[in-house]
Amino acid sequence: MVLPGIDKSDRGISAIELRGVSKHFPGVIANEDISLVVRSGEIHALLGENGAGKSTLISVLAGLHQPDKGLIFVDGVERRLHTPRDSLLAGIGTVFQHVLLAPTMSVIENLMLGGSWRKSLDRESALSRFRELCDLLAVEIDGNSLIASLSLGQRQQVEIMRALWRGGERVLILDEPTSMLTPQGVIELSEVIRRLRDNGVAIVFVTHKLREAYDLCDRISILRNGHLVGQIEPHDRERMG
């Protein structure tokens, strides 16, 4: 399965570009003049300590905050992401640090939440799409299982499915995705992320762990006190060994 709108030949082209993006709150410079490019078919780390500006930047991309200045381009087209729906329509899916799934509902019911109110819910079609995503991500989850019965790693996988399901098939943002996982869960998540990368998805991986960013990600952008202070490119990684 290849995700809709994804062509593997697009790998390496700009999926998201930020130009001079700034966001201030009263007394706080959250982001200041940030410019960076996230390419299709790469895992791009946003690395920084708490307060570095990572959460604000992904909130801007998720349509939760609007930048005070600067431009956002998706696939080379300027986009104004006023709402989370705008972000999803642009092909950007976000998985936040805290699980947002309904624990007393099944996996498939959670995935179907937020669908169009104009059409009746087609459970069979939803199950078919769910199985396709399981094949794509190489995971085994029972769509009829209650979320509460799943491990944290499995819930993370369902969150990723939900982001892809709702429209985030071009760019996937993961906010501190390993913070609650066991070592085995981290390994399984890494495999899922790499499979998506290999299918042409641009992955924004938000973390404060340098080793994690270095081991998993293709490129690293470093934030500190709201500023972009450095980047590690693939050729830099090769020299560093």
pLDDT tens, 167-184?
767 999 999 999 889 999
pTM for this prediction: 0.88
CA 239, distance to chain mean position in Å, is 28
Three-state secondary structure readout of the chain:
CCCCCCCHHHCCCEEEEEEEEEEEECCEEEEEEEEEEEECCCEEEEECCCCCCHHHHHHHHCCCCCCCEEEEEECCEECCCCCHHHHHHCCEEEECCCCCCCCCCEHHHHHHCCCCCCCCCCHHHHHHHHHHHHHHHCCCCCCCCEHHHCCHHHHHHHHHHHHHHCCCCCEEEEECCCCCCCHHHHHHHHHHHHHHHHCCCEEEEEECCHHHHHHHCCEEEEEECCEEEEEECHHHHHHHC
CB-based contacts of 236: which residues, under 8 Å, 6+ apart?
Answer: none
Mean pLDDT, the chain, rounded, equals 88
Task: Tell me the Cα Rg of the chain.
Answer: 18
- Residue 217 has a pLDDT of 94
Of 28, 68, 34, 23, nearest to 51 by C-alpha is: 28
pLDDT of residue 1: 47
Q: Which residue has the tokens 């991500």?
A: 137
Q: Which residue has the higher pLDDT, 7 or 100?
A: 100
Q: Is residue 5's pLDDT more than 60?
A: no
CA-based nearest residue to 37, from 208, 202, 216? 202
Integer CA distances (angstroms), 210 to 76, 121, 172, 216, in order? 30, 43, 20, 10
Single-letter code of the amino acid located at 202: A
**What does the pLDDT read at residue 115?**
55
Lowest mean pLDDT among 31-35, 43-47, 164-168: 164-168
Token code pair at residue 83: 């709402």
Tens digit of pLDDT for each residue in 104-114? 999 999 998 86
> What's the pLDDT at 116?
44
Phi and psi, residue 107, nearest 5°: -55, -50
Q: Rounded distance, CA 81 to CA 62, Å?
A: 7
Residue 182: both structure tokens together = 């066991």
